[in-house]
Structure 1
């Protein structure tokens, strides 16, 4: 070759220096730390092929972050609680409301026996009766509201005299009351009663007699109390029976309160502005029942049923579709071209 650079190796002097140090056992700092780490840590079993490392790794250890033996808290064991709280290293206390369900109602309610695709005659009639009563209740509520909002007609319409009497209803009572107050005659002033005569000073004999009477009254009361206590000894059986009845009554009341509380816990609470309303019954008439599953038509909506279930279990508040509200009122403008045509 014409050039001497063709025989030179790139970074030859540096590579020769590295090779000499490696032969003497001197390794780079990075490689030396890596070897120390491999010697210190135990070898893990080989990961099977076809699995991704990370949270999808089947060999990864699982633990509960709320448990007492959480491995994340082992390095913090024995340290000052105030220091851990200030450095945001202490575990946040889990609220008590997350430990219990917001409602005891089941997530999926089993439909009545009459709602089956091939129900018995009695069960289907019971379901039809429930649906009929619900429709009657809705109809009565609508009729009541319509009756309250409707204007009276014919003979029931208010006359001008009735309107005037209604407007003057409170004024006439006030004027009559004022007239009664003015007509009352003036009563003469009541004089104060004369002062009581001063009591005479008691003698020594009177004081001694009063003292003896008080002592006798106290002695009689003590004797009566002792006599009552002696009589109570003979009433131990009846007292025990009264205590047993009282404890049974307390137990009955406690069980009644618990049963009432369970019923209230199963009911939907009012979480927002709207009140929860039960969905309408999904029922088919007798002539609409399918003869087989092939011709069965689905009733209701699974999405609506799950949405109502979340509301019934107090997981979300009852909601309604947002109504369109115009921000600015409409303005009608007569354009120039329209004015020229007209």
Structure 2
């Protein structure tokens, strides 16, 4: 047979195409065959591949330099460090700028890597294991327990119950004795006086309040002749304004031309005057400070009086607030609460008997006003029916 052709030598790609891979194919075939054979192929294997003889240190030192393992072999023999551990090792490193900041006790360095939730949990778990904190079972774990898979845990997301705020105002208020169907004379007069005072107060508040904007402005109609005169007056004023502006511009131009040059003597005078004023201000300031030091007891007394007045004002505001809460509810909506008028009979309406008493349907209105007064419902404005 003739020699096998060596192939083309045009370039490296052609050389790679002609490389023989027979030894690699034989290795893969042998590996597959050994895997399929399993334990039956063990007797046929040589003893060198099954056993390892540990040589003493003396014999290993006597070996030649060719038996020294390479870096790749050492890396294969060492256990692999997981990637997570490598990252943690890098995070534990203290950076150069952080080490510089640590030297200064007044500067708190910011860590370069923020500790995550998982790292915190892991550190907490390690700390518990270190201290030996173990949960001791209180019951026998071997006993079977009937667990409900649909039952929720004790600390679930249960909504908190809304508690209604207690009102100082009672649900049913007892009216004055003068509002009875057969009241005593003095109590009736007191109730009448209270009703009259409330009505008078409403009238005064309405009068003293801000005047509303009128829908129609009162005035007289302007005739045609007066309109012509008004137009003429406006034109004269415009002409006068233009003349005034021109005169002002001319005066400003003349003033600019008359600028005077400041000499060195004038500048020195200004500097000396400025220095003198500064010295006088400093002296006056020091004098005021010395006066304040001398009048320190008076200042302390004034501060004590001011604190006392503030405390009195605070107590007065607290009392007024409590009285306001007793008389009416807090502001809930846009409308203010208006108490119902006192239900008192006039002198001629007093009959002295329930049989002759004039009936009126105000029970629902009374209950509605009570609900508004206690702050349960926001007050509303009475809407009158339009016809």
Higher radius of gyration, 1 or 2: 2
- After TM superposition, the score normalised by the length of structure 2 is 0.41
